[in-house]
Amino acid sequence: MLVQGPPKHNDVDSLFDQARQLGAIEAPPDNLCLSSSVRSFAGIGRLLSGDTVAAAPQQPESLIHNIVFWRNGFTVD
């Protein structure tokens, strides 16, 4: 007698639906824009000596994640 678990479903659509619910955006890399919720610190810092130091303005870095789907899983670069 062989005991097996429930059949595995290759339900990629549910994976993408869950990603969309968590805020993922579907678009070509050229059309992606940073949302207003992505912000970096732009204030003044204080040293241990008590001196203040202004933060240098920096452009947020754009990140591209490549997802490759294989027959038995996927990889993220």
Do residues 16 and 25 make contact, with C-beta atoms less than 8 angstroms apart? no
Report DSSP letters for 24-42, one per residue: -----GGG----TT-----
Model pLDDT for residues 25-40, shown as the tens digit of each residue:
776 666 555 555 555 6
Identify the pLDDT of residue 41: 60
Of 63, 59, 55, 67, nearest in space to 15 by CA:
67
**Residue 70 β-bridge partners:** 73
Identify the pLDDT of residue 45: 72
Q: Which residues, at least 6 apart from 46, have a Cβ–Cβ distance to it below 8 Å? A: 52, 53
Total-model pTM: 0.29
